[in-house]
Chain A
């Protein structure tokens, strides 16, 4: 079974600075999808960024970018120009490709709590 590990329970960053959140995963599959979700105190999980494993180019969404290292099974999230509104729990998630008769489900890490200091 796939597992996702986030080794940083908590991180902090100064406003306007850059922070990187780590994520590693374990899988024997060659094709899969990776996601970063943000969970503010409202509890709603918000998709931040996604990456398809077959794409070598790292995904970017405005101030958010990933460093996807397939061989190392690493998928870190970089937040540039951090803002107070970025403070939240961040979860890394893995999803297998759909197989015949298979089921989709996201496998989540335990999360990293990000604090942004003014």
Chain B
């Protein structure tokens, strides 16, 4: 596609339920990133995928969070047993190649509300 696509745009879920957030990066972009933006905060790095390399999961806040990237394209971020503190906007970004000195192309995010 022409841009990074994220779905759903908004998600309301009950505490304790699992949620899946989807990111469809720009075709041909080998690097994919997930960030979390909590109210009034900057963007917090969660996880990074680059080609066939092992992902950098250093930003995942707990073992309730996991992500996968299938076929080097679409990525899914899964949050198990959601908590109220998981409420945030989850942003996905992709970039063409590792080491590029330009920034990333972001999607419009998924706003997750845990009630």
Contacts and interface: CB of A to CB of B under 8 A. Distances in A.
Given A33-B101, A98-B99, A43 B56 contact: no
Contacts of A103: 48, 50, 56, 58
Contact of B103 (A44, A50, A109): A50
Contacts of A95: 103
A45 B40 contact: no
A106 B33 CA distance: 10
Interface string A28-66: 000001010100001111110010100000000000000
Given A44-B108, A98-B98, A104 B48 contact: yes
Contacts of B40: 110
A97 B50 CA distance: 15
Contacts of B109: 43-44
Contacts, number: 66
A43 B89 contact: yes
Contact of B31 (A4, A44, A104): A104
Q: 8 tightest A-B contacts by CB?
A: A103-B56, A45-B106, A108-B42, A98-B99, A108-B43, A47-B103, A110-B42, A44-B108
Interface of B: 31, 33, 35, 40-45, 48, 50, 56, 58-59, 89, 91, 93, 95, 98-99, 101-104, 106-109, 111
8 contacts: A42-B108, A46-B106, A47-B102, A50-B101, A91-B43, A93-B43, A106-B43, A106-B103
Given A44-B106, A50-B102, A104-B48, 4 more contacts: A43-B89, A52-B101, A93-B43, A110-B42
